Amino acid sequence: AQKVTQAQTEISVVEKEDVTLDCVYETRDTTYYLFWYKQPPSGELVFLIRRNSFDEQNEISGRYSWNFQKSTSSFNFTITASQVVDSAVYFCALRRYNTDKLIFGTGTRLQVFP
Amino acid sequence: DVKVTQSSRYLVKRTGEKVFLECVQDMDHENMFWYRQDPGLGLRLIYFSYDVKMKEKGDIPEGYSVSREKKERFSLILESASTNQTSMYLCASSFGTGARNTEAFFGQGTRLTVV
């Protein structure tokens, strides 16, 4: 069975703090894809990153970084020096190689206070 | 830029009504999806379509049907709306299959309230 777990329901931080959002996934496939999406208050999910299972290199994009560890089936997302505009719900998702369907976690609501 | 447009941001319907949620994408994507988002449950797939007139059930298809007569348009139909279908509905589209599949692009969502 495929499953994505985001154990943190809600996180609150003060601006400029670093914050890590956890994502743990379950799959028996050897080839799969992992994603992070951001859902701001406007409602539309915004794509942040896609990672395939053969690429365990960590990725950094500005203040955002992702740590993919197959040994622990985790794909964690860190925001450095958080800003109020980072306030949103963040979803981690899994896609099997031979399907086009995304399996989502339950999301983590991040609130960044000034 | 890819654009996925849902016809309504907010809808209020009565129990028993037939409800149509419309979604249009402008990037010639083969795949289109309807998800439902509820607090604590994340996004759950209702139906998806990988080609015109083709559809597959997702995880929670009961009480819903879909229609895809044209590649750019994917409609979600609630045959007889019930209060437990009050939710946020999100449409998405993507290109390609398997390794060629792109990330999914989402619409802004339709918040449906059934009274």
CB contact A101 to B (< 8 Å): yes
What residues 25-54 of chain B have any CB closer than 8 A to a CB of chain A?
Answer: 31, 33, 35, 40-45, 48, 50
Touching check for B10 and chain A: CB below 8 Å?
A: no
Dist CA B90 CA B108 (whole Å) = 7
Nearest chain B residue to A48 by CA: give it. Answer: B103
Alpha-carbon gap, residue A109 to B68, rounded angstroms = 34
Q: Which residue has the higher pLDDT, A100 or B25?
A: B25
**What is the spatial distance between Cα A102 and Cα A93, in angstroms, rounded to a whole number?**
6
Cα A76 to Cα A67, B16, B20: the distances in Å are 5, 43, 38
- Give residues 13 to 72 of A whose Cβ lies within 8 Å of B: 33, 35, 37, 42-47, 50
Cβ of B106 and A44 within 8 Å? Answer: yes
Q: Which of B1, B106, B108, B110 to mutate to test the interface with A (most CBs of A within 10 A)?
A: B106
What would the pLDDT profile of B61-75 be if each residue is shown by its tens digit? 999 999 999 999 999
Q: Residue B87: CA atoms inside 13 Å, Cβ hemisphere, count?
A: 20
The verdict on a CB contact (< 8 Å) between B104 and A102 is yes
Determine the pLDDT at residue B2.
64
Q: Where are the beta strands (DSSP E) in chain A?
A: 3-5, 10-14, 19-21, 24-26, 32-39, 46-52, 59-61, 64-69, 74-79, 88-96, 103-104, 108-113
Q: Which pLDDT band holds residue A58 (cuts at 50, 70, 90)? A: confident
- pLDDT tens-place string over residues B6-58: 999 999 999 999 999 999 999 899 999 999 999 889 999 999 999 998 999 99
Rounded to a whole number, what is the distance in angstroms from the first to the last CA of chain B? 37
Residue B112: which of B93, B84, B73 has the closest Cα? Answer: B84
